[in-house]
Amino acid sequence: MELMQPLNEQQVIANLRQRDDASDRYYAAWWLGKMRSQHPEAVPLLLDTLSALSDEPVDEEDRGVAINAIRALGLLLNPAAHDPLMHMLGSKDYSVREEAARSLGAMKAKAAIPQLCQLLSGGPAAAGKEQVGASTLKEPCEALLEALGNIGVNNPDVVAVITPFSDHPRPLVRAAACRALLQLMKEQRWANELEQLLQHPEPLVRRGVLLDLGASGWTAALPAIENASVEASLKLVALRGLAEQSDDIKVLDVMDRLL
């Protein structure tokens, strides 16, 4: 490949198909998602990369390509990926379950709801349990909760699975639960919880909560977002979420003030 030459779609497809250079495949999987490729071979080739995840042992480079492919499938929104991604929720690999949940959430894949709920079953003490010697919980709870909120089916079973996580010891898990409950139930009390979390002393928590409020599409949170102690660039990202879901000119006025 020549240096500094921008890739075209045909080349990227060829790069994903070949098996010699893993870094070209890795970049190709990312590129197809980023560029929202509509090439007819994009989705089948991305799905092909997933088979490497069932090898014993899994090759590290192939795993990286597959995880990028899962993310790309979440951007391409092709329903042909629903079943394969749901299969990935059963993977032994935490990151694979996490990325599959995010992509299924982005695709609003209703069929994934029972499995997502299953992974969260047992609540904070089981799925949400801290793991000795690791920074992760037993399950990728934030991704699973966000997926249920994004898919947007409000029924008592789903709400019963999510609600206990609003008391999880980790603030970002609490925020993910409140965000999902706000999306599903559209009740101010969950926005209040998020606005309270937005006062958290840790900047990283405030940033995460701010994006959760934006993603919720809850316009009543507009003043809280505008006045949060977070940099303007991130407020604008959160407000983009709010504006695109609500079509409310008030959101654009606040964005104008933050430019």
Which stretches of the chain bind other proteins, using CB under 8 A? 36, 231-233, 236, 240, 243-244, 247, 249, 252, 255-256, 259
The least CB distance from residue 243 to other proteins, in Å, is 5
The angle, 0 to 180 degrees and rounded to 10, between the axes of the packed helices 113-120 and 141-151 is 150
We find the least distance from the C-beta atom of residue 237 to other proteins, in angstroms, to be 8
Nearer to other proteins, 95 or 246 (CB): 246
Which amino acid belongs to residue 214?
Answer: G
SS3 assignment, position 130: strand
Q: Would you call 137 helix, strand, or coil by DSSP?
A: strand
> In whole angstroms, how close is the CB of 38 to other proteins at the nearest point?
13
Q: What's the gap between Cα 108 and its chain centre? A: 11
- Which residue number, 56 or 247, has a Cβ lying nearer to other proteins? 247
Task: Tell me the closest approach of the beta carbon of residue 170 to other proteins, in angstroms.
Answer: 24
| Closer by beta carbon to other proteins, 56 or else 256 | 256
Q: Are 176 and 151 in contact (CB under 8 A)?
A: no
Nearer to other proteins, 17 or 34 (CB): 34
Six-digit token string for 176: 């993910």
Q: What is the DSSP letter of 54?
A: G
